[in-house]
Structure 1
Amino acid sequence: MNEFVVGMGEALWDVLPEGKKIGGAPANFAYHVSQFGLPGRVISAVGNDALGNEIIENFTSKGLNHLIERVPYPTGTVQVEIDQAGIPQYDIKENVAWDNIPCTDAVMNIAKNTKAVCFGSLAQRNVVSRNTINSFLDAMPSTEDNLVVFDVNLRQGFYNKEILCSSMRRCNILKINDEELVTVSRMFGYPGIDLQDKCWILLGKYNLKMLILTCGINGSYVFTPGNVSFQPTPKVEVADTVGAGDSFTAAFIASVLKGKTVGDAHRCAVTTSAFVCTKKGAMPILPDEIKEM
């Protein structure tokens, strides 16, 4: 079928000041992809506990298709504190269920029918989930138009150069923000050049189809061989920025899969992420005018 759009990695609870909300970049990505009418799937793991039950019930109630394995580890949680600028600060608990996503026949069956996948660096902090992600990528159809998105998410030191290099070699679309790009460029040995030049270097070195660079209030860029798209960040009243980057990625990938140009996909992504910033939590319902973009 070669049709699924998969977010793979952490599924967890963001424990926000006003209470807990479903979180994790892969679930956010798959949820928003599904809102754009594509067959989104989230692959992760939860514990045999009440928090795990709630995650599965929540995904089901949202209509988000999922393959959530039960494992003998606690369901993941992240303590999120929002600063005065609305920027989240994270305390991500370790040795949890999503660190131990098993490589099952069901996971491999989805991989064989996947059109696009988004995975990050955080879910690779443990060897079990890292191996499952790599096995999934190995099992995907190797067609030219399949999209493999590596969404860099440098959190609490849960990353290293080896994992980043390996992931960049395996993807054909790299998503990174300006702060992460500075850190990566220091690790890779070219800290003294401007952000755009760093992006061109990565695009060429890893033979990428696209590189997406988000710069917060300073706009965002999509680099493709020989071209760059820039979009300013819309000015909105920010409730919080949790999940905004994931919604950007989802809207962009959904648009590309539906045949939109890079420029149109970029505009849809910016509009979507700006809307998510006006709402609390990572999974608000998108208005029809955004879905129809």
Structure 2
Amino acid sequence: MNTDIIVGLGEALWDVLPEGKKLGGAPANFAYHTRQFGFNSMAVSAVGEDKLGDETLAALEAKGLGYNMARVPYPTGTVQVTLDDNGIPTYSIRENVAWDNIPFTPELEEIARNCRAVCWGSLAQRNVVSRETIHKFLSAMPSDGGRLKIFDVNLRQNFYSEEVLCDSLRQCNVLKINDEELVIIGRMFGYPGLDMRNKCWLILGKYNLDMLVLTCGTNGSYVFTPGNVSFQETPKVDVVDTVGAGDSFTGAFCSGILKGMSVAEAHKMAVDVSAYVCTQSGAMPVLPGSIVNRM
């Protein structure tokens, strides 16, 4: 097996948008974008023994994305997405679905042992089955060789708890969070009075992180590393929708770091990729060569 696998681990689902359904889920989006930069990338989740499950696998194959998708006796996940006038999505996420029940298999353990970077979030940990699978996967990953364990917080509805967040913060070495999530976590962890940057420095130090990535929508983004911070303004573009923009940011940033870019270079790459994704419909557009070739 290739020992250089990039894994998006967690929910695999269909975003049901006003113009129809599109394959989504943050981990698959992340894996798709790292795949565009030439990595051996894989979406890891579970789908149902249903028509939507068949369509999920066919869509992943059509996009050239590797996958490990267990078929389980639960319906394939769907999310109703409504967009406001600015293209900002609101999600209604179906519960007790296939991706809540991802099994930990010998094949998945083998993938973990050969994994160079993994990205997971809090949403896929709302059910104990998938939560335990995620933790077993992280435990099976080697800790040497500059491997990236990226926790992309991804707070949705009420599907998170302080326990889940703390456990993942202890297991990651890169945290990705947005400004709204930072406010919620600051309140939850008992430091609501600190300003944004000081909250980030505190979390970086407390959990001994290598990097903390903070995105602030149109107000730019930051990458905190011990003793340093990178800031990039958000480009002004004609937004179609912002679905998957954050996942594309994470995928591009991870790809840049693994390809040997500096933090500032990888950060700029991530900003440009996510800005482009905002100009396209859905979470998995093909990136133009002018962006991909910079890597």
> Could you tell me how far apart the structure 2 residues matched to 1:142 and 1:196 are?
29
1:125 is aligned to 126
Aligned-pair RMSD on alpha carbons? 0.6
Correspondence 1:40 to 2:23: no
Residue of structure 2 equivalent to 1:22: 23
- Measure the CA separation in 2 of the matches of 1:269 and 1:156: 26
What is residue 67 of structure 1 aligned with on the other side?
A: 68
* Counterpart mapping for 1:139-288 below 5 A: 139-288=140-289
**CA distance in 1: counterparts of 2:293 and 2:199, whole angstroms:** 34
CA separation in 2, counterparts of 1:121 and 1:193? 24
**Matched position secondary structure for 1:85:** coil
Partner of 2:138: 137
- Deviation at residue 289 of structure 1 after TM alignment: 1.0
2:284 is paired with a residue whose SS is coil
For residues 291 and 188 of structure 2, the distance between their equivalents in structure 1, rounded to whole angstroms, comes to 38
Compute the displacement of 1:193 (Å).
1.2
Distance (Å, rounded) in 2 between the aligned partners of 1:24 and 1:173: 20
1:144 positional shift: 4.7
Aligned match of 1:51 = 52
TM-score, normalised by the number of residues in structure 2: 0.99
Letter in 2 for 1:230: F
- Which residue in the other structure is 2:112 paired with? 111
- Counterpart-to-counterpart distance in 2, 1:10 and 1:282: 14
Q: What runs of 5+ residues in structure 2 fail to find an aligned partner?
A: none
Question: Whole-Å Cα distance in 2 between the matches of residues 292 and 184 of structure 1?
Answer: 37
Q: C-alpha distance in 2, partners of 1:38/1:118?
A: 14
AA at the equivalent of 1:79? Q
Tell me which residue corresponds to 1:92: 93
Answer yes or no: is the 8 Å Cα contact 1:2–1:141 preserved in 2. Answer: no
Tell me how far apart the structure 2 counterparts of residues 199 and 258 of structure 1 sit (CA, whole Å).
26
Using the TM superposition, give the Cα deviation of residue 266 of structure 1 relative to its aligned residue in structure 2, in angstroms. Answer: 0.2
CA distance in 2, matches of 1:230, 1:277: 20
TM-superposed CA distance for 1:2, in Å, is 3.1
| 1:76 maps onto 2:77 in alignment | yes
- The letter for the 1-side match of 2:247 is D
Amino acid in the other structure paired with 1:66? Y
Shift of 1:232: 0.2
TM-score normalised to structure 1 length: 0.99
Contact 1:42 1:66 in 2 (8 A): yes
Partner of 1:292: 293
Identity %: 65
- Size of the aligned set, in residue pairs, is 293
2:160 aligned partner, one-letter code? Y
CA distance in 2 between partners of 1:160 and 1:151 (Å): 15
The 2-side partners of 1:167 and 1:115 are apart by 18
Cα distance in 2 for residues equivalent to 1:2 and 1:253: 17
Q: CA deviation at 1:183?
A: 0.1
Q: Does the 8 Å CA contact 1:210/1:225 hold for their aligned counterparts?
A: yes
